[in-house]
Structure 1
Amino acid sequence: MSSPSHDAILQSAGRLFGERGYRAVTVRDVAADAGVSAALVMKLFLSKEKLYAAVQPDESLLAELEVPASELGRALVFRVLMRRERGVQEPWAMIPFAVLDSPDPEAARADIRERYVAAIAQLIGDTTPDRRFASTVTALMTGFGETVRTLDLFAGWNFDELVAHYGAIVQAQIDACTAAP
């Protein structure tokens, strides 16, 4: 069971690591931002590496999608935009940071790639040997999540129009997977 301090530490760590990267954030930075002592951060998470691991992107967000296959593209895009509106950490946008700033980038790359691509493959029914459709959907969503977070390229777009527009792009890959032999 988590405590308010535990949750505050995770929230602060997720935001700080996402903004600055692993190397630029200290345990003291996280503690100060969360309003707790550095000793408490260490007591709860044991090390900076374990704290970083605790806030990494989690593909479990895909398991919560309960929509028909014909609406998956829109649902994925809708969730990114809703997280942006609510000021919640964007898992898709965290993927590049999780790999590049990891203490072990190659291991992080392999782990995150496998978890996300496998989750998308299961979600869309991609059984191709190279999971090409799942890989493409993962790339589209990672790019979209990072673009929305960092560049704010779609700031002037109407929410529903953006869901329809970018959702259709993602959906095209999902539909291609369904149509593949």
Structure 2
Amino acid sequence: MNRNSGKMLLALASLAVVAGCASTKLDKPAEVEKKDVTTQRTTTDTTPGTGASTVTTTDLSGQQTTPATMDRVIYFDFDSYAVKDEYRGIVESHAKMLKANSGAKEVAEGHTDERGGSEYNLALGQKRAEAVVQQMKVLGVGDSQLEAVSYGKERPAVDGHDESAWAKNRRVELRSK
């Protein structure tokens, strides 16, 4: 094989990779459902001897209140960055904690499984992290408390080359900063 043939094969291989990446759309915005997650009511305590006071309470019925060791991992479907309904409780718990502690900060770390190229997986991991961050912002968390980063496929949670390992690697981990 001469030098020109090698260059031609390299050019064709590069074109095939670019064409494969071009068919995947990652430029649409993260899917976020906006909804009111709390209702507030004002009550007046008129117990004799305590004086009257007005207290605003938050109705948390249907919401899970978790301790400081709350879940921190949100899993995703293959080739998706939509936060599944089953993980919204985790997002809401972290948002509640951040709103209660204005000095607290968290990083949403996006991860993917090993399939696909590095650039594609970095972009997908970023979209996953941004989807979680966007949901927290909708819930009232300030921009300065959140950061989204992507590690793509570089930091797998589980070693393995099957669906069970891949499913555990498609995730966003929420870490205190």
Pair in the same fold by TM > 0.5 = no
Larger radius of gyration, structure 1 or 2?
2
Choose between structure 1 and 2: higher strand proportion. 2
Choose between structure 1 and 2: higher helix proportion. 1
TM-score by length of 1: 0.30
